[in-house]
Amino acid sequence: MQKRKLGKSGLEVSGMGFGCMGMSFGYGPPKDKEEMIALLHAAVERGITFFDTAEVYGPFLNEELVGEALAPFRGRVVIATKFGFDLGANRDPRPGLPGLNSRPERIREAVESSLKRLKVETIDLLYQHRVDPDVPIEDVAGTVKELIRGGKVKHFGLSEPGVQTIRRAHAVQPLTAVQNEYSLWWRRPEAEVLPTLQELGIGFVPYSPLGKGFLTGKIDQNTTFDNSDFRNTLPRFTPEARKANQALIDLLATIAEQKKATPAQIALAWLLAQKPWIVPIPGTTKLTRLEENIGAVSVELTSDDLRDIESAASKITVEGSRYPEALEAMTGR
């Protein structure tokens, strides 16, 4: 497994990370704990050293799972987690969406709780999950700076921020990484976020690099999801949108055939080819998919390949918003 550094921070991780959310949250009921622990062990054995979780995934279940599974590998792996929702010490936000809360006292409370669940003395990478419009980002960055000085946190990140927020936070406490959705079917970060990160020397961590499963080519207009699967609420996953967006899958399949790869591997290889400081974090609950994702690191896309993909993709209009309005409003602040 190749390694990559997240910007100028010096934080080195595997070239492919692992998004752990779906093991406990979002994509149907929580999966079998022992099976997921075995899968996380398999990921480490295959060279993955970068794992992503958050207190809100479950809530709390995913951090507990990741903490237990990765306990034998302390010092060999990098665990990223997130704060920013109003969960309190033990508040379960279901049903409905929890509010945002990045007040300094809430950040400190979240960190203490995450340290316990993750079974670590220091959080490797701590993201603000969503920007809280009621708390100046300077206060957030200043609080994390204190936590870093106190040895509770090593690196600071933001998830789905706007570029002015990135600049303001970075001026107080240098950012190691920004995490946004980014893939061949959600390319908005290219306009402003990626150039800003390049300028400032900040790494980029694309979540949902496989379009929440759609870019694997295994989902079509007839696919049905579990009642608790959050894709049921996403405009981009209506049957009509899935039918319209099949053109993107057809493009990936064509290139995959030429490269003796899979559509998912082409989608991930495309991301890796964009910048050397990009580290995608695809998630999975299956060993076969884990191995497929890791295989993307070995797929070479030439400049001609990338130009062909760009040319073909530019002719495809992706249908459907990525999130409902309330969720989308939490991004890009």
Q: What is the pLDDT of residues 146-167, one digit of tens each?
A: 999 999 999 999 999 999 999 9
Q: Which of 66, 176, 177 is nearest to 116 (CA)?
A: 66
**Percentage above 90 pLDDT, the chain:** 96
Which of the four pLDDT bands, split at 50, 70 and 90, describes residue 96? low
Q: Which of 313, 314, 309 is nearest to 299 (CA)?
A: 309
Main-chain phi, psi angles of 10, to 5 degrees: 85, -5
**Percentage above 70 pLDDT, the chain:** 97
Mind giving me the DSSP string for 152-194? SEEEEEEES--HHHHHHHHHHS--SEEEEE-BTTB-GGGTTHH
pLDDT of residue 95: 52
pLDDT of residue 112: 98
**All structural domains of the chain:** 3-328 (3.20.20.100)
- Which residue out of 57, 127, 182, 207 is catalytically annotated? 57
323 classed as catalytic:
no
The mean pLDDT value for 274-293 works out to: 98
Query: Contact at 8 Å (CB) between 120 and 151?
Result: no
Q: How far is CA 284 from CA 124, 227, 292, in A?
A: 22, 19, 10
pLDDT of residue 122: 98
d(CA 69, CA 34): 9
**Which tokens sit at 227?**
């009642």
The mean pLDDT value for 4-20 works out to: 98
d(CA 241, CA 321): 9
Query: Contact at 8 Å (CB) between 150 and 123?
Result: no
Mean of the per-residue pLDDT values for the chain? 96
**What is the amino acid identity at position 229?**
D
Which of the four pLDDT bands, split at 50, 70 and 90, describes residue 72? very high
DSSP letter (8 states) at residue 241: H
- pLDDT higher than 90, residue 91: no
Which residues, including other chains, have CB under 8 Å from residue 104's CB and lie 6 or more apart? 135, 139, 140, 142, 143
Residue with tokens 């299956």: 286
pTM of the full structure: 0.97
- List the single range of 52-66, 78-92, 108-122, 167-181 with lowest mean pLDDT: 78-92
- List the single range of 82-96, 254-268, 301-315 with lowest mean pLDDT: 82-96
pLDDT of residue 157: 99
Main-chain phi, psi angles of 289, to 5 degrees: -70, -40
pLDDT of residue 88: 65
Which of the four pLDDT bands, split at 50, 70 and 90, describes residue 294? very high
Q: How far is CA 100 from CA 60, 85, 230, in A?
A: 16, 4, 19
pLDDT of residue 87: 87
pLDDT of residue 269: 98
- pLDDT higher than 60, residue 92: no
Q: What is the pLDDT of residues 108-120, one digit of tens each?
A: 999 999 999 999 9
Q: How far is CA 214 from CA 61, 211, 329, in A?
A: 25, 5, 23
Which of the four pLDDT bands, split at 50, 70 and 90, describes residue 182? very high
Which of the four pLDDT bands, split at 50, 70 and 90, describes residue 177? very high
pLDDT of residue 98: 83
Q: Which of 65, 45, 42 is nearest to 53 (CA)?
A: 65
